Structures are given as C-alpha cells and as structure tokens.
Amino acid sequence: MTAWLGFLAVFLCSWSLRDLVAEACTCVPIHPQDAFCNSDIVIRAKVVGKKLMKDGPFGTMRYTVKQMKMYRGFQIMPHVQYIYTEASESLCGVKLEVNKYQYLITGRVYEGKVYTGLCNWYEKWDRLTLSQRKGLNHRYHLGCGCKIRPCYYLPCFTTSKNECIWTDMLSNFGHSGHQAKHYACIQRVEGYCSWYRGWAPPDKTIINATDP
C-alpha cells in the first residue's frame, strides 16, 4: 500500500509538472519589423546538424547552421555557426529540420552564443512574402526608430509622431496579418513614422501617411 501511494504521488507530481510546463510558453504578438529591430542577430541559414546538450533540466538543443546571409548583427558576430534553443517546445524551444529548408532566424546573443525561441521570429524562408524579404534587406532598418503600437480594440490613436498603429491584432495574431506580411513602419520627414508598402524607395516628402 505504501509503495502504491508513493507511486501515485510521483505520478501526480510529474503530471502537474508537465501540465505546468506545457502552459509555460506564452508569447506576445510582435510585428516582424520589431522582431528584427529587437534582435541581436538576424540571418538566413540552413540547418545542417543538431545535438542535444545536457544543460538545464530539459536540455538545450544546439543546431549547426550554414549561414547564407546576415541581415543584422555584423558587429556582434559576423558569422554564426550554432543556434541554441530550449530542447522542449513547452519552454519556447524551436524545432528546426536538418538538411531540408532554409530559415530566417532571429535571436539574442548571450555569453557568445546565439539563442532563439518561439517568441523570436523564425520562419521557413520560402514562406516569407516579398515585402518581408525587402524589409530584411533595407526597410526594417529604416524603421528601428519607430514604434509599432498594437491595436486590440477600436478606436486606436497614435500618441506620438514616431508611432504606427498595427491593426492586424483586430483579426489576426503574430506574423500572419496583412500589415505584418506587407508593410514596414518607416521614418519620414521631421521624425514622423508611417506605414510603407511599394516597389520604389520610400517617398521622403510624405508625412504621416495613413496607409493602411
């Protein structure tokens, strides 16, 4: 009887731990431009290997990557060879496939290592829109001095000239909305920020455009 009670106690404790961990990863939706500007490292890379490192209670996954291009982080780490993430998705670890896809990966540098997770922006490269690719190359840089304010309920208003209102939050979350896929919030004349979409370079004479 004592052995059974001991087993039951261990089972319930382990179940409670799993249940707690499963709900531990919660990310605030973020526009790709903010994800870019807030990252130490932004690269396009292919995963060529992985290894489970015995760090922490659940371990850390180390992905070996072949860097194709760097968009942000030249001064910090010109070439990235490894990406680290939690081994458990419940702790916001990401799962990347080896020798299959090229990925956009954003992350932060800590003690000389690049870490990423579910709350960072990562995506298969071929799923990015053309506007997002252009943003990585040039446009997002222009907007790192701007602030993207999420709008959850109407009406929404800017509180300063360097803000853009992000209305994807009314119907979509994360990177799946129209503004996230096709627009960048960039700085115009006199420090005003506004949404921009187009093939030509931004028109510097436009002030506080309302599109979208």
The binding site for Zn(2+) consists of 25
DSSP state of 202: P
**Binding-site positions:** 25
Q: How far apart are CA 4 and CA 27, in angstroms?
A: 40
Q: Which tokens hold the place of 83?
A: 């990406």
Place of tokens 């995506």: 123
The helix (H) or strand (E) run that includes residue 181 is helix 178-182
Q: How far is it, in rounded angstroms, from Cα 108 to Cα 203?
A: 33
Two structure tokens written together for 29: 């939706």
CA 108, 88, 57, 63 torsion-angle sign = negative
Which of 163, 156, 151, 212 minimizes the C-alpha distance to 183? 212
**C-alpha distance from residue 100 to each of 48, 125, 126, 132, 142 (Å):** 8, 11, 12, 22, 32
Beta carbons within 10 angstroms of residue 82's beta carbon: 14
